[in-house]
Structure 1
Amino acid sequence: MTELYRSIFMKQKMMRKVLYSLIPVTLGSIYFYGWRTLVLMAVISVFGIFTEYLFKRKSNKKVSEAVLVTSILLTLTLPASTPFWVGIIGIIFGIVFAKEIFGGFGHNVFNPALAARTFLYVTFPEPMTVQWSTVSSGFPGGFARYLSPALDTITQSTPLGILRQGGEMLPLRNLFIGNTSGSLGEASAFLILVAAAYLLFTKTADWKLMLAPVIGFVGIHSILLLANVSSVPSPLHGLLSGGFLFMTVFMTTDPITAPKQTEAKWIYGLLIGIIASVIRIFGIFVGGAMFAVLIMNTFSPILDEGIKHLKSSKRKKVTA
């Protein structure tokens, strides 16, 4: 089995560390929603690997381990009841149009998992925004079932849905531990923070790219609260609701699509936090974080080049 794996995949230590960090989030998703999480993840991963293989076989290259990261991340951004065919379409779109069309791993401008999730969010709104599942609790939770029961969207809603409707905010404890419905990977802020701690400890992710979006998000929320703008939740409720933390930890820190210059990283992250907050509060989409990251993916190369140009100009002035 090991030899077969090595014959298919190129070794990427950084991607493997990201996979390790996703283990607690994945186990949490199974506990909250059932074993369908793993089945959906397996189906999406198989089609993701096969799609990339079709592009690599002509040049006799191996499939990148990054495709596993992309497949798992995409799965964790989906509702538990997402139809398999929807997940398959999403991963094929992400690999083809957000990765291989740019030349494969290391050349992509957009995060493939995020591009795939956004495509599905816009193209298939019903399974992506309405068909939620309830969260299991107690022992053994979702480990004893295939899929938790469907959420009654008439009498119940996700945390972001409640906030948008101006309803009573859920207890912070529920948002932190994971007793709230939503996409598979966003259920527990605690498990996301565990993954973040591992990525930072192993130096797999840049702390600046994690901290900057949080500062931007909390900052703009605080300003709007002070300005008495209606329907603005407390910064902490906004931070723990929805997929913002998940996007910050796993998408914003993507080393391929994020800027390389230190100053550019701060600008990039701050703007992601601000844009995500503005879209959530004033836009028609509650999933502001994914749009914010993709928007800033577009400007990442420009930020790097702009910072380099400024630094070069300063050096010339000093030596002149």
Structure 2
Amino acid sequence: MKALNEFVRKFEPDHATQPLLHTTYDAFYTFLFQPGTTTKGGVHVRDGMDLKRQMVWVVLALQVLYIFGTWNIGNQHFTALGRYTGLLEGLHLKIVYGLIQIIPIFVVTHVVGLGIEFLYAAKKGHSVEEGFLVSGALIPLIMPPDIPLWILAVSVAFAVILGKEAFGGTGMNIWNIALLSRVFIFFAYPTTISGDEVWVSGIEKVDVGVYASEAYTFVHHGFDWLFAGLGWNTFGLGGQLVADGYTGATPLGIAAKEGWAGVSAVYDQSSIFWGNIPGSIGESSVPLILFGMAFIMFTRIADYRIIVGGLIGFMVGGFMLNAIAPSELTADTPGIFKFMAIHPLRQMIMGSFLFAITFMATDPVSSADTPTGKWIYGFLIAFIGLIIRVLNPAYPEGWMLSILLLNTFAPLIDHYVYQANIKRRAKRTASMAITRDEIITKRGDVDVFTPENDEDYRPVGNVGIY
């Protein structure tokens, strides 16, 4: 390892004459090796886990969602075309199709985001900050599989420049960077991130009864010769979109209008739980999100207080809405009441709540800092987010808005927690203070003064104190 380190050091550019190249070199060098300097003195805590390696743990926890999302992109595409409807049917086609969709999203996100960070680091004359490692891994997972790449690039640039660099860089941002990228698209280009068709890749290019061959490019067909040589199925014409057998609506989109009865008529509960449904690339599989949740909690990368507080807030809000909803639902019952009546556990497995509370709300920079504040922060994110989801017919998902809202108020939450702690400790200190009148001088075995019925009085040496 020492020899490798010395070899890599030979390629280090000059910092003064080539600041951008040096910044790029330093970013990759610190990714490969731990910092060569540590704090000095016996009062400092030294640890091999620097910021970059801490963030890598979160990226590792997301890899299972990338694998699942790649498969699900292809699975939803071919299911809509009526081909390979089984989970493992046409597996090679589903994976290749998913990779062709997700790789450009991943590349554009990192080229734009890291490129901006490299430029700012070179301009400031310091090393590349590691903050985009997690943001860059999260952004592709919260996007539709057919998001236009130029819109994605603009949203990432907006989030990094105005959401982070304008505030001083990594560790100084007020809001979650990944969510800023999504919220920019939501308000600037709403049709690209809402509606039924955006959640299933390639379907907007296919008319009912027409073969989907035009939805494929030379990249897709470039694999046909390989698959044909192996005796496997090829992309070919791609199948036809059947109007009667296809819906690109997410469970939440259906629930907002028809309640759980409408959802169960289209998707079985098992599919919703495992994530075999249309939606953002990495937000749908409950078991894999729970795996990531356990992983980052066990490694203490994420604070359990935010996650558990969010789960409690979600259940409280869910049961409150259940109590408001009518006891009997009919065909004439407004959709909002049908949505209210859905059991909180069913609400929890629909949509992106578990993903948001696990990977978005726990961002250590934009979340609350105090232990008590983390409980409050997580609780309010879930409670407010569920209210937005159910009561806002124009936006049947509320975690993006609730997290950004609580990001804004996190310092205020911590402020009041600090003030409450100060007042409590001041009161406790005042109650324990020994005043002049409370010191009772003892002479021998006889007290000069002994308060009657005072259990707090006790002799200490020759002095009696309360």
Q: What's the TM-score, normalizing by structure 2?
A: 0.63
CA-to-partner distance for each residue in 1:274-301, whole Å, 9 max, x for gaps?
1110001111212301100000001101
1:180 to 277, 281, 306: 277
Displacement of 1:226 after TM fit?
2.1
Distance in 2, Cα, partners of 1:54 & 1:93: 15
1:73 alignment partner, SS class:
helix
Where does structure 1 lack aligned partners over 5 or more consecutive residues? 136-143
Distance in 2, Cα, partners of 1:249 & 1:151: 37
The residue number in structure 2 matching 1:50 is 115
The residue number in structure 2 matching 1:296 is 406
The residue number in structure 1 matching 2:250 is 158
Distance in 1, Cα, partners of 2:354 & 2:240: 25
2:199 alignment partner, SS class:
coil
Distance in 2, Cα, partners of 1:162 & 1:19: 32
Q: Are the equivalent residues in 1 in contact too, given 2:129–2:169 (CA < 8 A)?
A: no
1:8 to 13, 27, 41: 27
Displacement of 1:310 after TM fit?
0.9
Distance in 2, Cα, partners of 1:155 & 1:67: 36
Q: Are the equivalent residues in 1 in contact too, given 2:385–2:399 (CA < 8 A)?
A: yes
Identify if the C-alpha distance between structure 1 residues 93 and 134 changes in structure 2 by more than 3 Å, giving closer, same or farther: closer
Q: Are the equivalent residues in 2 in contact too, given 1:16–1:65 (CA < 8 A)?
A: no
The residue number in structure 2 matching 1:40 is 105
Distance in 1, Cα, partners of 2:353 & 2:170: 25
Distance in 2, Cα, partners of 1:148 & 1:128: 25
Identify if the C-alpha distance between structure 1 residues 240 and 151 changes in structure 2 by more than 3 Å, giving closer, same or farther: farther
Displacement of 1:151 after TM fit?
10
Letter in 1 for 2:55: M
Letter in 1 for 2:149: F
Letter in 2 for 1:307: V
2:71 to 19, 23, 31: 31
Distance in 2, Cα, partners of 1:44 & 1:38: 10
2:295 alignment partner, SS class:
helix
Distance in 1, Cα, partners of 2:68 & 2:307: 22
Where does structure 2 lack aligned partners over 5 or more consecutive residues? 12-23, 32-51, 74-97, 203-233, 327-336, 431-466
Identify if the C-alpha distance between structure 1 residues 107 and 150 changes in structure 2 by more than 3 Å, giving closer, same or farther: farther
Letter in 1 for 2:383: I
Deviation larger for 50-59 or 4-13: 4-13
CA-to-partner distance for each residue in 1:184-228, whole Å, 9 max, x for gaps?
011211111111111111111111111111211121111111222
The residue number in structure 2 matching 1:141 is none
1:225 to 308, 322, 325: 322
The residue number in structure 2 matching 1:195 is 292
The residue number in structure 2 matching 1:168 is 263
The residue number in structure 2 matching 1:133 is 200
1:103 to 168, 171, 174: 168
1:236 alignment partner, SS class:
helix
CA-to-partner distance for each residue in 1:214-270, whole Å, 9 max, x for gaps?
211121111111222512222122111111111111011111111111111111111
Indicate whether 1:206 and 2:206 are aligned.
no
Q: Are the equivalent residues in 1 in contact too, given 2:199–2:248 (CA < 8 A)?
A: no
1:225 alignment partner, SS class:
helix
Distance in 2, Cα, partners of 1:319 & 1:173: 56
Indicate whether 1:279 and 2:388 are aligned.
yes
Identify if the C-alpha distance between structure 1 residues 150 and 50 changes in structure 2 by more than 3 Å, giving closer, same or farther: farther
Q: Are the equivalent residues in 2 in contact too, given 1:120–1:128 (CA < 8 A)?
A: yes
Distance in 1, Cα, partners of 2:418 & 2:54: 26
The residue number in structure 2 matching 1:140 is none
Displacement of 1:273 after TM fit?
0.6
Letter in 2 for 1:198: F
Distance in 2, Cα, partners of 1:319 & 1:285: 50
CA RMSD of aligned residues (A): 2.7
Displacement of 1:312 after TM fit?
0.7
Q: Are the equivalent residues in 1 in contact too, given 2:143–2:280 (CA < 8 A)?
A: yes
Larger RCO: Structure 1 or Structure 2 (Cα < 8 Å, ≥ 6 residues apart)?
1
1:129 alignment partner, SS class:
coil
Displacement of 1:150 after TM fit?
8.8
The residue number in structure 2 matching 1:308 is 418
Distance in 2, Cα, partners of 1:88 & 1:148: 32
Identify if the C-alpha distance between structure 1 residues 60 and 95 changes in structure 2 by more than 3 Å, giving closer, same or farther: same
Letter in 1 for 2:255: L
Q: Are the equivalent residues in 2 in contact too, given 1:41–1:75 (CA < 8 A)?
A: yes
1:208 alignment partner, SS class:
helix
Displacement of 1:309 after TM fit?
0.9
The residue number in structure 1 matching 2:363 is 254
What is the percent sequence identity of the aligned residues?
31
Displacement of 1:164 after TM fit?
0.9
Q: What's the TM-score, normalizing by structure 1?
A: 0.90
Distance in 1, Cα, partners of 2:161 & 2:371: 30
